[in-house]
Amino acid sequence: MNRGRKSILALAAVAALGVTGVVEASQGVATITISGQVPLVCRVSVDNSASVMLSANGNKSLLREFCNNGAGYRVVASYSKQLAAGRLVVDGRSIPLNASGEVLVSDVASAASSVRTIAIEGDGKLTGSIRFRIEPR
């Protein structure tokens, strides 16, 4: 019986090796590469028209920014010389407007979507125009 038992164990070992060999043979390595192209989209807009906001002088509006550029973006305000004595207030941060006609509103180091509160402050008699542009890095 001892000899029969050894035969059965040997057969079981061979069978196990055979199964293992089959499993190893069926475990091939496959690589699938998926790629795509996402268009660069950057946009900025003001909820109220800039002229309405400026004529009301001090009324708040919303500046909406979106850019999917992984390296980030900048938002720049360009304004008429009549506004050079005023201030642009962005999320409570006052940015003086000067004779250069442009000011940096935001500088973001990644793709993002933001909504900022903006207003123009001045002597109450400010009139002019302001435009916002977004620049991907």
Beta strand segments in the chain, E: 42-46, 61-67, 73-79, 87-90, 93-96, 102-108, 112-121, 130-136
Burial call 88-118: b when 16+ CB within 10 Å, e when fewer: bbbeeeeeebeeeeebebbebeebeeeebeb
N-to-C CA span, the chain: 82
Give the pLDDT confidence score for residue 24 in this predicted structure. Answer: 55
pTM (two decimals)? 0.68
Give the pLDDT confidence score for residue 53 in this predicted structure. Answer: 52
Show Cβ contacts of residue 24 under 8 Å, excluding neighbours closer than 6 positions: none
Give the pLDDT confidence score for residue 29 in this predicted structure. Answer: 85
Q: Enumerate residue ranges in the chain where pLDDT < 50.
A: 9, 11, 19-21, 51-52, 55-56
d(CA 100, CA 86): 13
Alpha-helix runs per DSSP H in 27-56: 50-56
Q: How many CB atoms lie within 10 A of CB 73?
A: 23
Domains of the chain by start residue, with CATH: 42-136 (2.60.120)
Give the pLDDT confidence score for residue 55 in this predicted structure. Answer: 46
- Degrees, nearest 5: CA angle 32-38-42: 155
- Phi and psi at residue 88, in whole multiples of 5°? -100, 125
- State the chain's mean pLDDT as an integer: 81
d(CA 65, CA 103): 16
